[in-house]
Amino acid sequence: MVSQKALLFGFAITFLTFTACSDQVDDISPNEEIPTIGQEVQAYDGVHPEIWDYFNSFEVEGLARGIDVDLRAAGISGVIEEILEDGVVAQSSHSSENPKQIIIDATFWENTSDLAKEFAIFHELGHCYLARDHREGTHEDGTCLSIMRSGPDVCRDNYTPTKRSDYLDELFDERFHNEIN
Q: Which stretch binds Zn ion (CB under 5 A): 13-21, 36-44, 73-81, 151-159?
A: 13-21
Nearer to Zn ion, 150 or 158 (CB): 150
Residue with the CB atom nearest Zn ion in the bound state: 11
Q: Which stretch binds Zn ion (CB under 5 A): 16-24, 62-70, 93-101, 138-146?
A: 16-24
DSSP 91-159: EEE--SSSTTEEEEEHHHHHTS-HHHHHHHHHHHHHHHTT-------B-TTSBBS-TT---TTT-B---
| Contact positions with Zn ion (CB under 5 A) in 21-50 | 21
| 11 lies in the site for Zn ion, by CB under 5 A | yes
Size of the site for Zn ion (CB under 5 A): 2
Nearer to Zn ion, 49 or 137 (CB): 137
Q: Which residues pair with 143 in a beta bridge?
A: 156
Measured CA to CA, the distance from residue 30 to residue 117 in angstroms comes to 10
Yes or no: say if 125 and 78 are a contact pair by the CB < 8 Å rule: no
Binding region for Zn ion (CB under 5 A): 11, 21
